[in-house]
Amino acid sequence: MYEELRRLAGSYMRREREGHTLNPTALVNETYLRLLSQHSVDFSNRAQVLGVAAKMMRRILLTHEETRRANKRGGEFTIVCLTEGVDSVAGVQPHVFSEVDEVLCRLEKMDARQSQVAELKIFGGMTGDEIADYLKVSPATVQRDWMSGRLWLLRELTRVRTPSPA
User: What digits encode the pLDDT tens for the residues 79-97?
Assistant: 555 555 544 444 555 666 6
- Cα angle 74, 79, 84 (rounded to 5 degrees) comes to 165
Alpha carbons 122 and 55: distance in angstroms, whole number: 11
- Cα angle 81, 84, 88 (rounded to 5 degrees) comes to 60
Helix 24-36, helix 2-14: angle, nearest 10: 130
- Above 50 in pLDDT, residue 150? yes
Alpha carbons 140 and 42: distance in angstroms, whole number: 25
Express each pLDDT in 106-149 by its tens digit: 999 999 999 989 888 877 778 889 889 888 999 999 999 999 99
Helix 97-110, helix 46-71: angle, nearest 10: 130
Look at residue 26 in the predicted model and tell me its pLDDT: 81
Look at residue 91 in the predicted model and tell me its pLDDT: 52
Q: Are 107 and 153 within 8 A, CB to CB?
A: yes
* Greater model confidence, 42 or 139: 139
Look at residue 164 in the predicted model and tell me its pLDDT: 53
- Rounded mean pLDDT of 7-35? 75
Mean pLDDT of the chain: 76
